[in-house]
């Protein structure tokens, strides 16, 4: 056994370190994009869709009140043709109002489901992001130290003694 280490794969360590750096550089934007998409979807549901259907509910409520008022006015004037037309308008406005109420219920359900389903996944993703950002960064730094130590070892190690041409 010789007193010198056999260093034959420094290039493999260098290659692995380089590949790890590339992998980390590629994973950060992917994780950021996923987080952004979850936040965007949550915002879309909570802000955009909810606001839209709440405005629609107010609009349909006004239309329903207007239809009821017209029905009341028609009932006072005692014209049956106008009254039946106004009753149909009130029924249609009530259906529209209930449809919008149903949409709001669905939006609230989607918000809960999104949070329930995405929260565990987002937590795992945040843990992965932390692992990649901290632990894997430490790994890259460690590999750099290993490469420096191996380089220093190769420069100070005595050259191998070659056998002389003596025969035994």
Q: Is residue 163 part of a domain?
A: no
CATH no. for residue 31? Answer: 1.10.287
Mean of per-residue pLDDT scores for the chain: 86
What does the block give as tokens for 23?
């992998």
Q: Is residue 4 part of a domain?
A: no
- Separation of alpha carbons 59 and 56, rounded Å: 5
| pLDDT confidence of residue 20 | 93
For the chain, what is the domain count?
1
125-144 tens-digit pLDDT? 999 999 998 999 999 999 99
- Separation of alpha carbons 152 and 71, rounded Å: 95
Could you tell me how far CA 159 lies from the centroid of its own chain?
56
Q: Is residue 37 part of a domain?
A: yes
R_g (Cα) of the chain, nearest Å: 37
| pLDDT confidence of residue 168 | 46
Mean pLDDT on 12-25: 92
Q: Is residue 157 part of a domain?
A: no
- Please enumerate in sequence order all residues whose Cβ is within 8 A of that of 111, keeping only pairs 6 or more positions apart, or say none: 42, 45, 46, 50
Mean pLDDT on 19-47: 91
Mean pLDDT on 107-124: 91
| pLDDT confidence of residue 79 | 67
Inter-residue contact 75 to 83 (CB < 8 Å): yes
Q: Is residue 83 part of a domain?
A: yes
Asked whether residue 72 carries a pLDDT value surpassing 90, the answer given is no
Mean pLDDT on 56-79: 88
pLDDT band at residue 1 under the 50/70/90 scheme: very low
CA dihedral (103, 40, 30, 118) in degrees, to 10, reads -50
Q: Is residue 159 part of a domain?
A: no
Asked whether residue 22 carries a pLDDT value surpassing 60, the answer given is yes
Choose the weakest-confidence range: 12-16, 56-60, 63-67.
Answer: 12-16
- Of 163 and 6, which is predicted with more confidence? 6
Range of the domain at 113: 10-152
- Separation of alpha carbons 74 and 85, rounded Å: 9
| pLDDT confidence of residue 160 | 60
Choose the weakest-confidence range: 14-28, 34-48, 145-159.
Answer: 145-159
DSSP string, 53-109: HHHHHHHHHHHHHHHHHHHHHHHHHT-HHHHHHHHHHHHHHHHHHHHHHHHHHHHHH
Asked whether residue 2 carries a pLDDT value surpassing 80, the answer given is no
Smallest Cα–Cα separation from 47: which of 99, 121, 107? 107
- Separation of alpha carbons 71 and 58, rounded Å: 20
Q: Is residue 44 part of a domain?
A: yes
Q: Is residue 165 part of a domain?
A: no
Residue 9 is given by DSSP the state -
| pLDDT confidence of residue 90 | 92
């Amino acid at each position: 056994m010789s007193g010198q280490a056999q260093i034959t794969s420094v290039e493999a360590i260098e290659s692995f370190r380089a590949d790890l750096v590339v992998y980390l550089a590629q994973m950060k934007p992917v994780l950021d994009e996923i987080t952004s998409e979850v936040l965007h979807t949550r915002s879309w549901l909570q802000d955009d869709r909810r606001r839209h259907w709440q405005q629609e509910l107010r609009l349909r409520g006004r239309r329903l009140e207007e239809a009821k008022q017209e029905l009341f006015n028609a009932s006072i004037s005692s014209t049956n043709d106008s009254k039946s037309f106004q009753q149909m308008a009130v029924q249609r406005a009530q259906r529209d109002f209930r449809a919008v109420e149903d949409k709001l219920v669905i939006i609230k359900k989607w918000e809960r489901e999104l949070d329930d389903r995405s929260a565990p996944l987002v937590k795992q993703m945040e843990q992965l992001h932390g692992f990649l950002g901290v632990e894997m960064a430490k790994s890259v730094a460690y590999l750099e130290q290993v490469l420096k130590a191996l380089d220093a070892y190769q420069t100070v190690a005595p050259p191998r003694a070659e056998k002389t041409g003596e025969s035994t």
